[in-house]
C-alpha cells in the first residue's frame, strides 16, 4: 500500500475532474479509489447545485462531504444532510439582479435547490446548462428582482449567463458594485456568479480541512477557472489544469495537463503519494 503525502485533495468538477465530453476517465476513477483506499480524503468542490453534484459523486463511490454553490452549501454525500448553508437576503439578491438586468443580461437564481431563470427556455446556452447539470430551470415571468422580492427568496447564488465576449463587462460591473460585500467570480466563459460574502471555494477548503482535522499545508486544490483562485491560494499546493484560464495558472503552484488528459489522476500520483 502506498504512503500518503498530502492527506486532502479537493477538486473542482466541470473542466477539471470532468472531461469536455462530460465523462470521468477510468484512470481518474482508479486513481481516486486508490488514494482513498490508502487513507487519503478526496472531495469535490463545485459551483453546481447540491442536487446536481450529489448523483455524480455518488457514482464515483465517494463518501464524506461535497461542496456546492461555490462553497455556500456543504453536504454529506451518503445522507444528503446539509452541514453548512448560507444565502443572500432576498433584498440583496434582488439588487444584484437589477444590476444584471440593467446590463441586458440573463439571470439564473438558485434558492433551496430550485433553479429559477428569466432566460427564454429555448436559449441554447440555457439548454446546454440544463443538460450538463441535469437540473431543469423554472421560468420566471417579469423581472427576476420582483420575483425574488415577492417570494422573499433567500438565494444561495445569482448567476449571469452571458455571451463569452460580454463576460468581462458584467463581471467588472458586479465586482465594482458588490465586491466588498458579496463574492463575485467567474466559473466559465459564459457564467458570472455572485454568492454571499465569504462563500467561496477557499473558505470551503478551510471548512473541509477543519472537519477532517487536516492542516492546510497538507491540502491540494485543483481547478480551472477564476472561481478556483481562492482555494488554489488557501491550499498548501494549488494546481491549475492545462486548460485553465491564465488568471488561475498565474497563481497556481503547479500547472498540469488538461482535464481531457486525466489531470486529476496525474496530480493524485504526484502530490497524493510519497
DSSP string covering 21-57: TS---HHHHHHHHHHHHTT-EEEEB-SS-HHHHHHHH
Phi, psi of 18 (to 5 degrees): -90, 140
User: Going from the N-terminus, what domains does the chain have, and what CATH number goes with each?
Assistant: 8-85+199-272 (3.40.50.1000), 90-196 (3.30.1240.10)
pLDDT of residue 162: 85
Report whether 236 contacts 220 (CB < 8 A): yes
Give the three cell numbers for residue 263: 489531470
Tens digits of residue pLDDT in 208-250: 999 999 999 999 999 999 999 999 999 999 999 999 999 999 9
Q: What is the pLDDT of residue 163?
A: 86
Question: Are 101 and 133 contacting, i.e. CB atoms less than 8 angstroms apart?
Answer: no
What is the average pLDDT across 38-56?
A: 97
CA distance 48 to 250: 25
Determine which of 5-9, 86-90, 130-134, 235-239 has the lowest per-residue pLDDT on average.
130-134
Indicate the average pLDDT of the chain.
Answer: 96
What is the pLDDT at residue 125?
A: 86
Percent of the chain with pLDDT over 70: 100
Read off the pLDDT of residues 149-189 as tens digits, 9 standing for 90 and up: 999 999 999 999 888 898 999 999 999 999 989 999 999 88
- List the strands of the sheet with 73-76, edge to edge: 65-68, 73-76, 82-85
In total, the chain counts a number of residues equal to 274
pLDDT (tens digit per residue) in 20-33: 999 999 999 999 99
pLDDT surpasses 90 at 131: yes
pLDDT at 189: 87
**pLDDT tens by residue, 70-121:** 999 999 999 999 999 999 999 999 999 999 999 999 999 999 999 999 999 9
Which among 25, 30, 257, 18 has a CA at the least distance from the CA of 267? 257
For cell 437564481, name the residue: 109
Predicted structure pTM score = 0.95
Amino acid at each position: 500500500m502506498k504512503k500518503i503525502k498530502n492527506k486532502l485533495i479537493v477538486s473542482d468538477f466541470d473542466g477539471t475532474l470532468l472531461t469536455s465530453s462530460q465523462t470521468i476517465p477510468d484512470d481518474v476513477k482508479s486513481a481516486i479509489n486508490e488514494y482513498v483506499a490508502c487513507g487519503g480524503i478526496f472531495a469535490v468542490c463545485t459551483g453546481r447545485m447540491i442536487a446536481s453534484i450529489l448523483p455524480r459523486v455518488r457514482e464515483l463511490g465517494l463518501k464524506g462531504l461535497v461542496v456546492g454553490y461555490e462553497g455556500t452549501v456543504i453536504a454529506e454525500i451518503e445522507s444528503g444532510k446539509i452541514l453548512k448553508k448560507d444565502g443572500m437576503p432576498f433584498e440583496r439578491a434582488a439588487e444584484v439582479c437589477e444590476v444584471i438586468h440593467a446590463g441586458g443580461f440573463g439571470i439564473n437564481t438558485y434558492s433551496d435547490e430550485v433553479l429559477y431563470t428569466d432566460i427564454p427556455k429555448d436559449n441554447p446556452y440555457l439548454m446546454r446548462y440544463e443538460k450538463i447539470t441535469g437540473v431543469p430551470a423554472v421560468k420566471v415571468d417579469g423581472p427576476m428582482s420582483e420575483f425574488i422580492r415577492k417570494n422573499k427568496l433567500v438565494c444561495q447564488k445569482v448567476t449571469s449567463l452571458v455571451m463569452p465576449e460580454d463576460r468581462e463587462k458584467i463581471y467588472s460591473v458586479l465586482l465594482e458594485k458588490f465586491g466588498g460585500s458579496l463574492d463575485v467570480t467567474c466559473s466559465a466563459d459564459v457564467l458570472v456568479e455572485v454568492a454571499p460574502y465569504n462563500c467561496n471555494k477557499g473558505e470551503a477548503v478551510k471548512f473541509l480541512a477543519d472537519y477532517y482535522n487536516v492542516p492546510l499545508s497538507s491540502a491540494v486544490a485543483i481547478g480551472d477557472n477564476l472561481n478556483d483562485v481562492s482555494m488554489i491560494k488557501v491550499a498548501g499546493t494549488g494546481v491549475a489544469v492545462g486548460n485553465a484560464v491564465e488568471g488561475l495558472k498565474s497563481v497556481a503552484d503547479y500547472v498540469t495537463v488538461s482535464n481531457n488528459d486525466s489531470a486529476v489522476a496525474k496530480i493524485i500520483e504526484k502530490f497524493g503519494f510519497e
